[in-house]
Structure 1
């Protein structure tokens, strides 16, 4: 059956228009979107072979029967165990290996893969599945919890198709972006959106900066690339804000410029070398700006200088750092990123305002001692079933300076949290200082662990210090 163009007429206010005329009008009005759609399809077709699936496995665990760690409904005494718990010595049936899914992308044709730290954290084995469904065991070259970036390496026996890192500094709010990953295990899923904001800080730490996007990002997208319309990676999808667990248009990606620096460090020796000044800093409020004689609220105000640090004898309390190596410091959040990505031993120039006079000062960047590497509390699931799900470090002078913790505050500083842990659910954040758990002071990691072991109240009352404010939170620990 065929219909001639002239035989199909459609009504309009002034009469009738032939379908051929209508088609011409529609063609003219849709030509540009059609071309845009074709360009998007071409981009996806080009970069998709470089996007991979990450499969991370952890050892099975055996935990006391609390009704929380295994399926009681399938157990013959499940209802009894739900009501009264298990008898002394009873253990839950051993579970199979826990398996987590994430995304990643090929950074180098030699087989280097980028993903998130939290995707492979504590994994006993990591598998990379390529776009063509071939799978390879991966070596974890190194990870950086402070930026949530990890570098893996696979041997595919041939050169892999890699993607290029773009310049995240020049991307603009409103630009189109494309996310490709494996949400809920659905491989090669493509979503589109725009850059909603730049320079976001989502309490990941002082060394991570995020692009906010409304491209749909869900569980399993973690570690996957965020592309600009040139097919360059401008971010690594890492987190979402969601009251329900699903995408609500608030996704966050670590900027590609940070990824480039971290990946190069990890590929070099498996560790990240960060520059260090050794100062505590704060934003310049309008009131402080007026008192300091500054026209506008800009720069980073030095509130303390760490003894023995590179800044000692060079910077002073009350200095306002306006630029670092010719890069403007608009607020206190800019400085850690600039210093942290500077090579240790570099002679650097700071422009500061001191007593109303602008000066240029020289100093040599030191080696930052990561607080997360100083000490931690292992999560021990067999200690009365109690855990917070945090990694903490002693509150050293270095940690105080980096986290901006006042000298009068004592406790242990939170350097990392496990997703969906009791601490995370209670609202604890990286940089919080745990001052007391129950009635016990927590001056050291061992003291915190002892307080956990002996705590009888559930939820437990935890006193934290956040930004100089003392806050009580209730944390379920059993």
Structure 2
């Protein structure tokens, strides 16, 4: 009796932490660390990643680099295993190595991608019996519930972070498309593609992207930690298409858009920013008279209002369009020249990769109004027009013209006192008339240059990387102590 009493008295009680630890251990068994060798190209003017098959690597700027990511084994067929990860982890891969939690290393010899949903499948072979995760397609995450993100942040293998579901971003359309949920569970580079589970051990999503910086009016840019997870809820069709190698067709309308900034909202005297602005047109897509125009503000798609998500990579407009049939027509409510309109836009089949059409995008760059408090750093007043280039699309007109990120646009042709509506109007007029534009640029803080932006042609532009390190001529750059033209 005494021995039995001692065993009962000194045995450790089972705790909630024990349950979670057991769940995470099980998750580790089906998780993989991904090491990707990808081709990297350093331009003399900017850094950009390209495809090794397209660029032979004969100049000093081509080399490879290694990035890390995360994934989960979700299917097995005979001795073949299928690993789910993000498309952006493997999109430029030349070689893929997979590391299991027991230390085994496998070569990923094939993968399939769904760029529209940022998902991919890596395939490897093994004669061992490796656990396979069971994804929960019928479970919708609940705001406030605990979640755990498993991955390889910054190369630290098989790490776990804890958080809660902060919000559900309902980007589904008639339950045809998946949704994202937001969490405060810490995600870092290397976490992409990692599995997310809840406290019951249900596999509910994939870590996809983070918002690392946001602009606060009158406060400048601040660091954030807003993390987004691709939810498995209602996503079985998407995953099955990847597993079986079938095409997961996405619809699109051939434009790019950005969330509104404080400067645009103020300039247009809007009450709120619940809209997106059309900032690029894929000119190779057939257009009707009712086509969208550069600078149009889109407020709703098929009767569903745009969800305000400042400075994020997603907005409700993308999945609303993506989930439609390619024979459908999208009905958009827009604001154009301060007039509210309802227009019908034909829906097209989205290419497997938009890189095949990048030559046709106009103007070929993404830009954002320079915050008023930062204008003084460039010798500008708060009222001066200034658009900072954030991204240049490869092979586009902007790329061929040698525009680069961080360039500041302060005028077009002979106009410098521009409103944002006038800026987009000039860009759209050049698109319609197939005319060149001269952009007035501030580069690297104290250099002012003129760059000619030519309309896109029907054939792909010669990339700057195929040129012999093309540089600006003396006619391109004008310098003096007063930074004037």
TM range (shorter): 0.5 to 0.7
Could you say which residue in structure 2 is the equivalent of 1:274? 250
Distance 1:152 1:340, change over 3 A: same
The match for 1:217 among 176, 180, 187 is 187
Could you say which residue in structure 1 is the equivalent of 2:88? 118
* Bigger Rg, which one: 1
Distance 1:122 1:321, change over 3 A: closer
Distance 1:145 1:415, change over 3 A: farther
Distance 1:167 1:415, change over 3 A: farther
Could you say which residue in structure 2 is the equivalent of 1:289? none
Could you say which residue in structure 2 is the equivalent of 1:106? 73
Q: Name the TM-score, length of structure 1 as normaliser.
A: 0.53
For the 8 Å contact 2:195–2:203, the answer to whether it is kept is no
Distance 1:167 1:277, change over 3 A: farther
The match for 1:336 among 312, 318, 322 is 318
| Structure 1 residue 42, shift from structure 2 partner | 3.1
Q: Name the TM-score, length of structure 2 as normaliser.
A: 0.52
For the 8 Å contact 1:56–1:124, the answer to whether it is kept is yes
State the secondary structure of the residue aligned to 1:180.
strand
For the 8 Å contact 1:225–1:237, the answer to whether it is kept is no
Could you say which residue in structure 2 is the equivalent of 1:51? 31
Cα distance in structure 2, aligned partners of 1:49 and 1:426 = 44
Aligned length: 353
Cα distance in structure 2, aligned partners of 1:303 and 1:100 = 31
Gapped regions of structure 2 (runs ≥ 5): 1-8, 48-57, 172-176, 215-222, 262-270, 310-314, 336-341, 369-386, 396-402, 409-423, 428-437, 444-448, 478-485
Distance 1:414 1:260, change over 3 A: farther
Could you say which residue in structure 1 is the equivalent of 2:452? 441
* Alignment of 1:455 onto 2:421: no
State the secondary structure of the residue aligned to 1:373.
helix
Could you say which residue in structure 2 is the equivalent of 1:177? 147
State the secondary structure of the residue aligned to 2:93.
coil
Distance 1:211 1:415, change over 3 A: farther
For the 8 Å contact 2:170–2:179, the answer to whether it is kept is yes
| Structure 1 residue 235, shift from structure 2 partner | 3.0
Cα distance in structure 1, aligned partners of 2:404 and 2:228 = 20
Cα distance in structure 1, aligned partners of 2:291 and 2:326 = 18
Spell out the pairing of 1:394-413 with structure 2 (5 A cutoff).
394-395=360-361
Gapped regions of structure 1 (runs ≥ 5): 1-19, 21-26, 69-88, 202-206, 286-294, 355-359, 376-391, 418-422, 462-478
Cα distance in structure 1, aligned partners of 2:288 and 2:279 = 13
Spell out the pairing of 1:71-82 with structure 2 (5 A cutoff).
none
| Structure 1 residue 362, shift from structure 2 partner | 9.6
Cα distance in structure 2, aligned partners of 1:238 and 1:303 = 22
The match for 2:207 among 200, 217, 236 is 236
**Structure 1, residues 210-246: CA drift from partner, whole Å, max 9, x if none?**
5443223233222211222332232324346279xxx
For the 8 Å contact 1:145–1:416, the answer to whether it is kept is no
For the 8 Å contact 2:191–2:207, the answer to whether it is kept is no
Cα distance in structure 1, aligned partners of 2:407 and 2:116 = 18
Cα distance in structure 1, aligned partners of 2:67 and 2:301 = 43
| Structure 1 residue 54, shift from structure 2 partner | 0.8
Q: Which moved more, 1:326-335 or 1:315-324?
A: 315-324
* Alignment of 1:143 onto 2:119: no
Distance 1:350 1:299, change over 3 A: farther
For the 8 Å contact 1:127–1:135, the answer to whether it is kept is yes
Distance 1:149 1:302, change over 3 A: closer
